[in-house]
């Protein structure tokens, strides 16, 4: 016999945890719809090239991908993020030809990265993300951030802060890369091994390094804001003006570059500021990407998106003492007394058809045990299917709030349930 455990960096979602996830998904989905986003589902794995693009220097692509081949020829990768697959699909399905641009899509599901697992950092984790592809406007950047921000607020969370920066257009970034290379080259020996490689490949990445974050050479590093050309500066100013208009608080972080290579202009991160989350403080993050659609063979159109980590959201909720798992309570419980055959199941089914969350007793159990179940579930109404009453075509129904009980004919069962439930709900409202 072997005792298996779930792989390192993964976790089981228990039925209690599932309630939290469902609550989260429901809230995020309905807000996304509210902002005009519709769901897209792409494969969990793609051709490796979808994620590993030419010259990509990010850690995620170079160190963290689960890549496999079943025939020694084709290489596939478990998706480490959602954007690339969605953009691949946008191009493949010629969504750029839709009359209405941008196309606004959201996705939800597991992502895979081979990381060092810790609280809030897993190898399989869930992301909810949005992509708004096919148009470029500062209003769209601000609207995307506003959507994520309203998700956090709607969940009842408040301790977050938006950090924002602009990476500018191609020309601005080229300027900046040259300045960074010039600055870091004399300090190459003081950088970590990865940053030495980044210096040659993409010096912007050095600013995102967690190892060198406190390295003294970082102190006087040139800032991108000094390398932005006038159009890039103007775009950034407009994004900030939109955020001001939407009353979304933010801080400009001139060193924010983000971990993926495809960003242009706006980049942002929204972090937990309770101080307990440490390096896992970022709850959602994203930005604009100008070159990704054309990279996949589509037209020169821009996109904007963000991804939100569900585990981080749950951590934030725990930090703030916000409950995400207010499970809907059982409305009706059907007890059985004596030899009543399949009647409890039938009565439960009828109650469910009326829209009530219902459960029933299916095996012979003492009345005491059944009443305990009713208490535990905190059911609003108890239906008692008794052998002798049923023989006369009747059933007992009890209002658990007032403790009043009535005996009614089976024909009146549904109406009585409805009336009783209405009384109970009115009573609760007036409290």
**Residue number with CB closer to ligand ATP (79 or 398):** 79
How far apart are alpha carbons 11 and 17 in whole angstroms?
A: 11
CB 69 within 8 A of CB 49: no
* Least Å from the CB of residue 380 to ligand ATP: 38
Binding segment toward ligand ATP, per CB under 6 A, in 236-244, 308-316, 349-357, 387-395: 308-316
The answer to the question of residue 81 lying near ligand ATP (CB under 6 A) is yes
Q: Please name every residue paired with 286 in a beta bridge, in sequence order, or none if there are none.
A: 268, 306
- Which region among 229-237, 248-256, 309-317, 352-360 touches ligand ATP (by CB under 6 A)? 309-317
Catalogue the long-range contacts made by 22-29 (C-beta closer than 8 Å, 24 or more residues apart). Answer: 23/324, 23/325, 23/326, 24/128, 24/155, 24/310, 24/313, 24/314, 24/324, 25/108, 25/128, 27/151, 27/154, 27/155, 28/106, 28/108, 28/128, 28/151, 28/308, 29/106, 29/108
Count other Cβ atoms within 10 Å, centred on residue 341: 11
Query: Is residue 312 involved in binding ligand ATP (CB under 6 A)?
Result: yes
Report which DSSP code applies to 275: S
Nearest approach in angstroms of CB 128 to ligand ATP is 9
Chain position whose Cβ is nearest to ligand ATP: 309
- Which tokens is 419 given? 């009336």
Among 259, 298, 303, 386, interactor with ligand ATP by CB under 6 A: 259
Size of the site for ligand ATP (CB under 6 A): 18
Q: Does 121 bind ligand ATP (CB under 6 A)?
A: yes
Which position among 131, 212, 311, 389 is part of the footprint of ligand ATP (CB under 6 A)?
311
Please report which helix (H) or strand (E) contains residue 344, including its range: helix 343-353
If one asks whether residue 89 binds ligand ATP (CB under 6 A), the answer comes out as: no
Nearer to ligand ATP, 102 or 259 (CB): 259
Residue 302 binding ligand ATP, by CB under 6 A? no
| Of the candidate residues 115, 318, 346, 423, the single one contacting ligand ATP (CB under 6 A) | 115
Nearer to ligand ATP, 284 or 356 (CB): 284
Give me the DSSP letters along 103-164. Answer: EEEEEEEEEE-----BTTB-SEEEEEEEEEES---HHHHHHHHHHHHHHHHHTT---EEEEE
CA dihedral for 154, 157, 158, 161, sign (positive or negative): negative
Stretch that binds ligand ATP, among 115-123, 316-324, 373-381, 415-423 (CB under 6 A): 115-123
Stretch that binds ligand ATP, among 23-31, 130-138, 303-311, 376-384 (CB under 6 A): 303-311
Q: Considering only CA atoms, which of 101, 103, 125 is closest in space to residue 114?
A: 125
**Interface with ligand ATP (CB under 6 A), residue from 90, 122, 149, 289:** 122
- Find the binder of ligand ATP among 113, 288, 380, 398 (CB under 6 A): 113
Query: Which CB, 8 or 185, lies closer to ligand ATP?
Result: 8
Distance set, CA 282 to CA 121, 179, 306 (Å): 11, 28, 12
Q: Applying CB under 6 A, does 127 fall inside the site for ligand ATP?
A: yes
Region of 118-126, 140-148, 291-299, 339-347 interacting with ligand ATP (CB under 6 A): 118-126
User: Of 160, 283, 348, 385, which lies in the binding site for ligand ATP, with binding defined by CB under 6 A?
Assistant: 283
In this structure, what DSSP letter does residue 42 have? -
Here the tokens at position 391 are: 């023989």
The residue (of 311 and 331) whose beta carbon lies closer to ligand ATP is 311
With binding defined as CB under 6 A, does residue 284 bind ligand ATP?
Answer: yes
DSSP state of 337: E
Question: What backbone torsions phi and psi does residue 84 show, to the nearest 5 degrees?
Answer: -60, -45
d(Cα 256, Cα 240) in Å, to the nearest integer? Answer: 15
Binding site for ligand ATP (CB under 6 A): 81, 113, 115, 120-122, 125, 127, 259, 280, 282-285, 307, 309, 311-312
């Amino acid at each position: 016999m072997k005792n298996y455990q779930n792989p390192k960096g993964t976790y089981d979602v228990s039925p209690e945890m599932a309630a939290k996830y469902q609550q989260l998904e429901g809230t995020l989905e309905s807000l996304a719809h509210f902002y005009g986003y519709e769901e897209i589902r792409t494969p969990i794995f793609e051709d490796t090239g979808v994620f590993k693009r030419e010259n990509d220097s990010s850690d995620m692509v170079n160190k963290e991908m689960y890549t496999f081949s079943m025939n020694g020829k084709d290489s596939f990768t478990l998706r480490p993020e959602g954007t690339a697959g969605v953009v691949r699909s946008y191009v493949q399905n010629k969504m750029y030809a839709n009359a209405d641009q941008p196309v606004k899509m959201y996705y939800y599901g597991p992502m895979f990265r081979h990381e060092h697992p810790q609280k809030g950092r897993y190898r399989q984790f869930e992301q909810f993300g949005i992509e708004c592809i096919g148009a470029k406007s500062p209003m769209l950047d601000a609207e995307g951030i506003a959507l994520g921000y309203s998700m956090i607020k709607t969940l009842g969370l408040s301790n977050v802060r938006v950090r924002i920066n602009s990476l500018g257009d191609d020309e601005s970034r080229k300027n900046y890369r040259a300045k960074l290379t010039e600055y870091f080259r004399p300090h190459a020996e003081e950088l970590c091994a990865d940053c030495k490689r980044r210096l040659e490949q993409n010096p912007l990445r050095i600013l995102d390094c967690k190892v060198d974050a406190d390295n003294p050479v970082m102190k006087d590093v040139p800032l991108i804001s000094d390398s932005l050309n006038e159009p890039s500066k103007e775009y950034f100013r407009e994004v900030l003006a939109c955020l001001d208009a939407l009353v979304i608080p933010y801080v400009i972080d001139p060193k924010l570059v983000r971990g993926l290579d495809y960003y242009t202009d706006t980049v942002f991160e929204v972090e937990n500021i309770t101080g307990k989350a440490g390096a896992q403080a970022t709850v959602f993050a994203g930005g604009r990407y100008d070159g990704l659609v054309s990279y996949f063979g589509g037209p020169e159109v821009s996109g904007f998106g963000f991804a939100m980590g569900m585990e981080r959201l749950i951590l934030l909720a725990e930090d703030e003492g916000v409950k995400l798992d207010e499970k809907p309570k059982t409305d009706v419980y059907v007890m059985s007394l004596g030899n009543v055959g399949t009647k409890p199941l039938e009565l439960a089914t009828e109650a469910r058809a009326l829209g009530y969350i219902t459960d029933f007793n299916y095996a012979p159990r003492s009345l005491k045990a059944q009443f305990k179940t009713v208490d535990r579930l905190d059911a609003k109404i108890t239906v008692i299917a008794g052998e002798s009453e049923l023989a006369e075509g009747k059933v007992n129904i009890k209002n658990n709030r007032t403790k009043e009980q009535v005996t009614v004919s089976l024909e009146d069962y549904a109406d009585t349930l409805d009336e009783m439930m209405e009384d109970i709900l009115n009573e609760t409202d007036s409290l």
